[in-house]
Amino acid sequence: MLLEVKNLYIDFEGMRGRTEAIKNIHFSLEKGEILGIVGESGSGKSITALSILGLLEENAIISNGEIIYNGRNLLRLQKKERQLLRGREIGMVFQEPMTALHPTMKIGKQLQHVIQRHRNIPAKEAKEAVLQALQEVHIDQPELVAKKYPFELSGGMRQRIVIALAMSAPPHLLIADEPTTALDVTIQYEILNLIQELNRKRGTSVLLITHDLGVVSKICDRTIVMYAGEVVESGPTKEILNRPNHPYTQSLLEALPDSVSPGQPLRAIVGETPSLLQRPNGCAFATRCKYAMDICRNHHPKLAEKEVNHQAACWLEGTVSYD
Ligand code: SF4
């Protein structure tokens, strides 16, 4: 196993009090696996990623839990050790490629800089590695692109460069947080295919964070669904898509554009996520759930195995049907 997040709790201290943003989450990622974390904004998926990277904001408090990476608890490492892991062993790709690129440095120089830093090789060798890295992310005419500035490239090209940067160490784990959200649909598929290709070719494990179940359906081996800072369902992606066990997953599936006939309005999930300043006693999804019962409002459902390797936190028995 490469990564295991165990019983993690993260709070944020703010003007209005303490927000319990992550509550008792637990998941693992095997070597060479692609794991999707899916949920609406505010579900805690990005905070989870930032906690693994050691990039949480100052007011974040990890009140309990462990993040075990390659046998080491990341939460016990010094700041400097975590910095070394980032980039060298754990690569990152975020939604907006410009945040990862230096706006006034040519692409080739940026890649060369990172490659030399991580691999400790002479400049001539690093220059060759730059062209190889660009070819690996399917950039045509790499010599030409290496001489360009980020602003001269399209969004899709920039995201390919960011992936090349993230993979240049090369890392054991790639964390991609909404890597395709800012891109056109056709480019989205190309970027997802590229991430999958690099995963298969290099054996790099991938944690893919997205609000879109359509995205996880393309490349993720397993998926966990988060709601209000908790894992509400987890299992093999095919199972989650074909036999959802949690009504929230069902609502996410119903909200996909493919689930409605052409010309019909999209089905949004009605209602809002509860305030994390004061969590409800029972199920956090109860105010939006069409199946809510008395027990749901008063007692918190624990994540439990409903089928082999398929868990859900819901008082309902069996698979949720949807149409
Ligand atoms: Fe709905 Fe109850 Fe299941 Fe929560 S526990 S998702 S309210 S049925």
Does residue 126 sit within a domain? yes
Does residue 320 sit within a domain? no
Q: With a cut of 80, say whether residue 110 has pLDDT above it.
A: yes
Q: Which residue has the tokens 């009504």?
A: 247
Distance 247 CA to ligand 1 centre (A): 7
Distance 283 CA to ligand 1 centre (A): 6
Of 15, 193, 177, nearest to 92 by C-alpha is 177
pLDDT-wise least confident of 117-121, 138-142, 291-295: 117-121
Distance 226 CA to ligand 1 centre (A): 14
Q: With a cut of 70, say whether residue 322 has pLDDT above it.
A: no
- Residues 71-96 have a mean pLDDT of 93
Of 155, 75, 161, nearest to 111 by C-alpha is 161
- Note whether 198 and 306 are same-domain residues: yes
* CB-based pocket (< 6 A), ligand 1: 246-247, 283, 285-286, 289, 291-293, 296, 301, 314-316
**How many independent structural domains does the chain possess?**
2
Q: Indicate the DSSP class of residue 208.
A: E
Per the prediction, the chain carries an average pLDDT of 93
- pLDDT score, position 260: 67
Last residue of some domain: 168, 193, 211?
Answer: 168
- pLDDT score, position 297: 95
- Note whether 54 and 186 are same-domain residues: yes
Q: Write out the residue range of the structural domain in which residue 125 sits.
A: 94-168
- pLDDT score, position 318: 59
- Note whether 259 and 180 are same-domain residues: yes
Last residue of some domain: 168, 186, 211?
Answer: 168
Of 205, 105, 73, 282, nearest to 113 by C-alpha is 105
- pLDDT score, position 323: 39
pLDDT category, 308, cuts 50, 70, 90?
confident
Looking at the CA of residue 247, tell me the nearest atom of ligand 1.
6
Supply the residue whose CA is at minimum distance from atom 5 of ligand 1: 314
- Residues 147-156 have a mean pLDDT of 95
- pLDDT score, position 319: 54
